[in-house]
Chains A and B, each alone.
Chain A
Amino acid sequence: MAGEAYDLHEYDVIVIGAGGAGIRAAIEASAQGARTALVCKSLLGKAHTVMAEGGIAAAMGNVWKEDNWQVHFRDTMRGGKMLNNWRMAQLHAMEAPDRVLELEEWGALFDRTKDGLISQRDFGGHKYARLAHVGDRTGLEMIRTLQQHAVHKGIDVHMECNVQRLLKDGDRVCGAVGYWRPSGRLVVFKSKAVVLATGGVGKCWKFTSNSWESTGDGVTLALDAGADLIDMECIQFHPTGMVWPISVRGLLVTEGVRGDGGTLKNSDGARFMFNYIPEYFKNETADNEKEADAWYEDKKNRRTPDLLPRDEVARAINAEVKAGRGSPHGGVYLDICTRRPADYIRKRLPSMYHQFKELAGVDITKDMMEVGPTCHYIMGGVRVDADSTATRVPGLFAAGEVAGGMHGANRLGGNSLSDLIVFGRRAGHYAAEYAKGVKGTATVDAGQIDVAIRELLAPVTRTGGENPYAIHADLQECMQSLVGIIRTASELKKALEEIAVFKQRLGRVRVEGGREFNPAWHLALDLHSMLSVSEAVTLGALERKESRGGHTREDYPFADDRFGKVNVVIRRKAGQFSVAQEPLPEMPAELKQLFQERK
């Protein structure tokens, strides 16, 4: 498309994605004096962070004085089945309290303790009540606070701008190419550093809690720029998504329901989680209802198995449904109505009350909810340096869900919002520092821009008969049935064959209509990312011949120590994927002690 016009902007740092990590990164880069732009696919304030419900995990010790960063670090590593990058988990646990307090300095209004401090609630896998929250709309509070702060810092925000390709000058990143969704006009950003904060990949699956934006754009941008991906097979299926009506299947039901006293029951009315306590968590989990219920008030009791880490609970629900003890619409029951007073439920869980009332016609203060696993989060992602969030590509940084390592094989609830602000800040800081060291203006290669523009415009210019919506539906069906919660080699291989066919079909997509706000065109371009992500996840899942956290193999049902010591690393060169096993960073002795001293 030589001669196709495009807008041109120049910055020191561009941040792609305006969820919690992206806005926090932009605030920090700007504070460091870098000319900074925040580029996002949706309107500002609509990113997926807005859907986070339960809270931000931070060992502030406002409710339990015994809590500290070491306990949080230990919970995070054990929840991640020790596959975490220990340094990321350490930085996260150490810095999260300061980042939460910083939000308060910027106007956030968290719920309070009786002493007037930030209240903290119980969540799965956390030893102490640790989640700073605002009812069950904590993500909204976070994104609004960051958004309002950023606006007053004078950061340029480019909304409804979809970045599709990165530009490189030799080894290093020097810019990006995208388009404005409203006008369809193309845009080139020249930039010394790029921060990826693009979030997750959930739209590859049929039943997901994720919004349309979660198409793995950052994963694909990084892969194409030469960065490494790690542990892409580790996908979190959140145990409690809505299962009915079918049109809202997958919509998130916050873990806060269980944190506030809710319990899972099967069709016999039995609290089945007591039958699924793994050896690994036996010492810290209550094995009878009396102790489990007493734990909410007194932490000397062991924790209720309803709040085991999410991977354990999701597998348990899956097993109950398979055994024929599910609810009418293929889930299990989540009961808070018989366990807490109606006023308490409406006060603590207003969004859940509203959501079930309006969408399912269920009053959760009177009736039990029907819930089942839903694709929620990817633990794997772009490999980064723990301290600086730098990828192996100079000038390219990644923070938040798009980055891998922090959460190991399974993420604890509440650790995502804290991840966003801890590593968002770090990404902004180190990207700005890097940009300062880049002399002169970057050279942007016209040839690369031409190639990008040609590829972006192909779906609106070529002839062909494929409908992008049909390809997306087929991909979601494939990933749901073949690369879901429980995996096996034969199905994974079948998925790879299907993905290869989807790629060919994508090459024949032709969308009707023009370039102005055309969702079919947008989907056709996002499918490029979704297919890369799906292939990477499937390759990783084949390589990891064990079951660990958010990766369960029917043909290798147990954790294997050999795989517990390695990241599955994925790269792509000239369109060809390669897969390797590489050793995890070694945890220093003083941190290792934390796992031996206590039980």
Chain B
Amino acid sequence: MAAAEFTMRVWRGDAKSGAFREYRVASDEGMVVLDVIHRLQATQAGDLACRWNCKAGKCGSCSAEIDGHPRLMCMTRMDTFQPGGTITVAPMKAFPLYRDLATDVSYNFEKAKTIPAFKPGPKEPDGTRRMAQADVERSQEFRKCIECFMCQDVCHVIRDHPENKPAFAGPRFIMRIAELEMHPLDTNDRLELARTKAGVGFCNITKCCTEVCPEHIHITDNAIIPLKERMVTETYDPVIWLLRKLTGRK
């Protein structure tokens, strides 16, 4: 695609008030939405707030809603849009707005604190830690997460019902629990947490989180569903329930 002009409809405003503003701006060959936003800052709207760091899809800072879809601005190419058309860029909706495209994502950092830390078991007799590649790969998939928080943004449990926030950790942190539970060395038990404070039960497997994940992590299939299954098995299975009663184990 050669250079083309677009109308960028960008949300401007803060927590109190705001509106979409339209800017005409040229885009050159190979540009992404973040390039155009930077061009706007340099030429038409110096104080336009947005976050970005790596500009390579590795840090997860520049999440926004582009034409209604949660996307990384740095990985959304301009040549996927009709030249001359209008592109709407809005901040993530599930989080309180600071200004323009920058939101207050502290909810996520608060949830991270509530998950018990990794706790390894004893080392091998020779002092090493040995793990098979196949065993580490399950958790490695989840550790690809760049914390763009778009899965949190799109999850209707909190997007449409902010009142659920205290009782629901969101896909990112349910996945973090699954990651630790599947870590070959970890010894902590987080199932009770998953059931109660993290609110895994809220998830009704619509897979919206998986769809928006820029790292293509199978959040629902590989993290949330196995966790739900284990929870059901350990909490509600009558045989295990009876065994627990008999042995006195929690």
Contact = CB atoms under 8 A, between A and B. Distances in A.
Interface string B19-30: 000000000111
Given A116-B130, A151-B112, A211-B53, A517 B99 contact: yes
A486 interface: no
A571 interface: no
A117 B47 CA distance: 50
B30 A43 contact: no
Contacts of B144: 137, 140
A520 interface: yes
Given A105-B120, A469-B42, A511-B46, A140 B30 contact: no
Nearest to B186: A107
B247 interface: no
B49 A43 contact: no
Interface in B90-137: 98-100, 102, 104-105, 109, 112-113, 117-118, 120, 128-133, 136
Interface stretch (A30-38, A70-78, A239-247, A309-317): A239-247
B131 A116 contact: yes
Contacts of A159: 109
Interface stretch (B55-63, B150-158, B163-171, B233-241): B55-63
B49 A517 contact: yes
B46 A246 contact: no
Interface string A506-549: 00000111101111110000000000000000000000000000
B211 interface: no
Nearest to A47: B53
B41 A43 contact: no
Given A247-B32, A520-B46, A212 B53 contact: yes
B52 to A, nearest CB: 7
Nearest to B34: A247
A44, A251, A468, A512 pick with most chain B CB within 10 angstroms: A251
A279 interface: no
Contacts of B41: 469, 519-520
Contacts of B139: 109
B130 A115 contact: yes
Contacts of A43: 51, 61, 105, 109
A39 to B, nearest CB: 15
Contacts of A213: 53
Contacts of B30: 244-248, 359-360
Interface of A: 42-48, 50-51, 101, 104-107, 109-112, 115-117, 134-135, 137, 140-141, 144, 148-149, 151-152, 157, 159, 182, 211-213, 244-248, 251-252, 351, 354-355, 358-360, 467-470, 473, 511-514, 516-521
18 contacts: A43-B51, A48-B53, A104-B129, A106-B118, A112-B133, A137-B58, A152-B117, A159-B109, A211-B54, A246-B28, A247-B31, A252-B56, A355-B56, A360-B30, A469-B42, A516-B98, A517-B99, A517-B102
Instruction: List the 4 closest pairs (A to B, CB-CB), nearest first.
Output: A245-B30, A513-B47, A116-B130, A107-B118
